């Protein structure tokens, strides 16, 4: 019976654990918020009137140590404007199979277009689904914004957008997008 004290001690551990704080998380039933500055899925932000902040400069792709980002720029044309200024990101892809969440890309971004959210559920059942396209990454249209393509606010230049002078889409911009919508339906 020499093992009896040892067994008592072992069961004692189990018994005591019943009174300790439970660390098991009930994921996915219960989702515990992450730390505030957790590096989650990226987001491509918009100016307050809905125009995209991304200018397609590829600095994020340049900064990325895992080669996870692919960007192609293009010219904003009259009547086909996606961002203030001359250039916008036509193609924007982040490959989450490669991304290591280091955040160098958002540090590199000159227009604060790219930031990271706390969204961490980046799993899927095929590799291609984990290459996120621009539409998967763009911030949703908030009240007060209109969906590009549309013009800049009348009499504003790109610098005004960066100086924070834009607070929301103007009546002209709403009207412009409405007109385009009607035209498209007409066709």
Partner 1 sequence: MTLTSDNKQTNTENSITATIDGIQVQVPKGTLIIRAAERMGTFVPRFCDHPALAPVAACRMCLVEIEGMPKPQPSCAIALTEGMNVKTQMTSTVAQEAQAGVMEFLLINHPLDCPVCDKGGECPLQNQAMTAGRAESRFDIEKRTFPKPIELSTEILLDRERCVECARCTRFSEEIAGDPFIELLERGAKQQVGIATDEPFNSYFSGNTVQICPVGALTSSSYRFRARPFDLVSVPTTCEHCAAGCSLRTDYRRETVMRRLAWEDPAVNEDWNCDKGRFAFAYLKENRLTQPKVRTKNGNQVDALWPDAIDFAAKGILQAKGKVGVLLGGRLTMEDAYAYSKFARLALATNDIDFRNRVNSEEEQDFLGSVVAGSGGSVTYADLEKAQNVVLVNFEPEEESPIIFLRLRKAAQKGNLKVTAIAPYLTRSLEKINAEVVATKPGDEAKVLRGLKIAQESIILVGERAAATPGTLSAVIEIAEKTNSKLSWIPRRAGERGAVEIGALPNLLPGGRPVTEVSARNDVAAIWGVNGSDIPNKPGRNHSEIIQAALSGEIKALVIAGLDVMDAPDPQALGQAINAVDFVITLGIQENSLTRYANVSLPVAPVTEKSGTFINWEGRPRPFGRAITSTNALTDARVLAMMAESLGLDFGLQTIEELRQELSSFGSWNGKKLDKPSVASIGAANVSVGSAILSTWNLLLDDGALQKGEEHLAGTQRPVVAHLSAKTAAENNLESGDKVTISNSRGSIIIKLEIIEMVNDVVWIPSNNHDSKVKSKLGAKEGDVVTIQKGSF
Q: What minimum distance in Å lies between the beta carbon of 125 and partner 1?
A: 26
Our finding on whether 87 is near partner 1 (CB under 8 A) is: yes
Distance CA 108, CA 1 (A): 69
85 counts as binding partner 1 under rule CB under 8 A = yes
Residue 89 or 146: which CB sits closer to partner 1?
Answer: 89
Of 34-42, 81-89, 118-126, 179-187: span binding partner 1 (CB under 8 A): 81-89
The distance of closest approach from Cβ of residue 57 to partner 1 in the complex, given in angstroms and rounded to an integer, is 3
Alpha-carbon distance 142 to 80, whole Å?
21
Q: Both tokens of residue 92?
A: 């924007």
CB 78 within 8 A of CB 72: no
Q: Per-residue x/- mask for partner 1, residues 35 to 74, rule CB under 8 A?
A: --------------------xxxxx-xx---------xxx
DSSP, collapsed to helix, strand or coil, labels residue 138 as: strand
- Cβ contacts of residue 107 below 8 Å, gap of 6+? 63
The reply on whether position 75 binds partner 1 by CB under 8 A is yes
Q: Where are the alpha helices (DSSP H) in 70-115?
A: 104-108
Nearer to partner 1, 64 or 166 (CB): 64
Q: Could you tell me the smallest distance in angstroms from the CB atom of residue 75 to partner 1?
A: 5
Nearest-angstrom CA–CA distance, 187 and 44: 31
Backbone angles phi, psi at 38, to 5 degrees: -60, 140
3-state secondary structure of 104: helix
**Shortest distance (Å) from residue 103 CB to partner 1:** 19
CB of 157 to partner 1, least distance (A): 9
- Asked whether the beta carbons of 68 and 78 are under 8 A apart, the reply is no
Residues 120-179 that bind partner 1 (CB under 8 A): none
**Nearest distance from C-beta of residue 100 to partner 1, angstroms:** 19
Residue ranges binding partner 1 (CB under 8 A): 55-59, 61-62, 72-75, 85-87, 110-111
């Amino acid at each position: 019976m020499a093992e009896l004290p040892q067994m008592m001690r072992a069961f004692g551990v189990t018994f005591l654990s019943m009174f300790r704080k439970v660390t098991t998380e009930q994921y996915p039933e219960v989702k515990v918020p992450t730390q505030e500055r957790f590096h989650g899925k990226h987001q491509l932000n918009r100016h307050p009137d809905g125009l995209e902040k991304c200018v397609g400069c590829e600095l994020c792709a340049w900064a990325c140590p895992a080669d996870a980002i692919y960007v192609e720029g293009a010219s904003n044309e009259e009547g086909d404007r996606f961002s203030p200024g001359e250039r916008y990101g036509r193609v924007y892809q982040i490959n989450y199979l490669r991304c290591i969440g280091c955040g160098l890309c958002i540090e590199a971004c000159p227009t604060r277009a790219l930031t990271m959210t706390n969204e961490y559920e980046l799993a899927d059942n095929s590799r291609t689904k984990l290459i996120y396209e621009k539409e998967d990454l763009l911030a949703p249209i908030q009240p007060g914004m209109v969906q590009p393509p549309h013009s800049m606010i009348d009499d504003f230049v790109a610098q005004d957008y960066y100086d924070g002078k834009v607070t929301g889409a103007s009546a002209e911009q709403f009207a412009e997008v409405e007109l385009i919508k009607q035209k498209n339906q007409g066709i």
